[in-house]
Structure 1
Amino acid sequence: MGVSTIRNIIRETCEILWSELQPVEMAVPSTEDWLIIADGFYKKTQFPNCIGAVDGKHVRIECPKKSGTLYFNYKNFYSIVLLAVCDANYCFRIIDVGSFGKDSDCNIFKNSAFGKKLYANQINFPSENVLPEDKKGTPQPYVIVGDEAFALNKHLLRPFPGKSLNNERRIFNYRLSRARQNIECSFGILANKWRIFHTSILASPDFAIKITKAACVLHNFVRRRDGYNSEDTLNCKMEDFNEKKGVGNAPSEAKEVREYYVRYVNSVEHSLSWQNKVIG
């Protein structure tokens, strides 16, 4: 068969995989689904009221014709961005694919359909609830965790920057990183399973988007049937918080939520036995 015939077969297959599997394997979470996700994160990472981890992955592509520097990213290669929110089982729950490589994760998230609804408080998140074993505490919102590249919001927590750290904030950063590591591992599993992500995709950006979306929904399909495999997480590597620049001032409400979480993870009742040794 000719190259164009093979290309059309792959394109059509990716489109069908997405259209058929997305409603089943990557359906928009319901309120009940968010609660199940939060339970999974707490059991696995001991981070309370966490309903997802968010980050962006640069999918390498060849330089599109007449695109200038739109797809050229800070890592010095051409890419489109896969922005994703995952659960504690390394499944993608929300994805946004196709932004220019030059765009920041924060701007991509703010301009995505999910991000717009989150910052407008229009997502079907569960109602605020007291944190686990904090019965006399103040009810807190359910949150997604991300790195410093994202804007702080009452529903999105990021770590404190390095310049303002004390021991309590270092412990909070560590506890948050335990939950955030899930999205790093999800990307690692995706790339190791579908090795096209280990090299440049030799296709136009719109075709690369279809390939990426198909791979993400197949990733979920396989994860839910193969179950947990310890080898999947062996090569997961956390990024240094200081590698990414933070964004501007956050609303006072969001800062208050983060400070409450700081006090919670540092309290005697809710601390981890090893957390002080880790930051020492």
Structure 2
Amino acid sequence: MYGQYKKLIEELKLEDSHSFRDFRRVDDNMFVELLERVGSRIEKQDTFWKKLLSPGLRLAITLRYLATGDNYKTLSFGFRVAHNTISIINPETCEAIIAEYLKDVLACPTTQEQWKELASLFSNKWNFHYAVGALDGNGHQLPANSQ
């Protein structure tokens, strides 16, 4: 494998940590945490006919896609993975991330007091009253307690 995962990412990791973070939009510690938490969910078994892609490569492709919005053909050239394979990897990896982090990140208040506390956090942090969250231009949720 001579694509971005094996060559470029390793080089950036060793020589330019800022560019490394920019390339994947997460630092190395977060990438390791993500891989530890979702790796078993996205790992596939090798077969007699085919050696499957590692969970780290699958995660790197998905993070790059989410960070840039590059089309599958462009990612295919960079990672040396077929575009039709990437079209399967990305949704599977996103679903694994959502399933793993759902209760940690997207916990919905269940009581009136919890809703009021969330609105207060949002009001104090963002000076946007009577709100409990927002979506940024990329469709990402911005919770009241984010930085």
Q: What's the TM-score, normalizing by structure 1? A: 0.20
Structure number having the greater strand percentage: 1
State the TM-score, normalized to the length of structure 2: 0.34
Higher relative contact order at CA 8 Å, sep ≥6: structure 1 or structure 2?
1
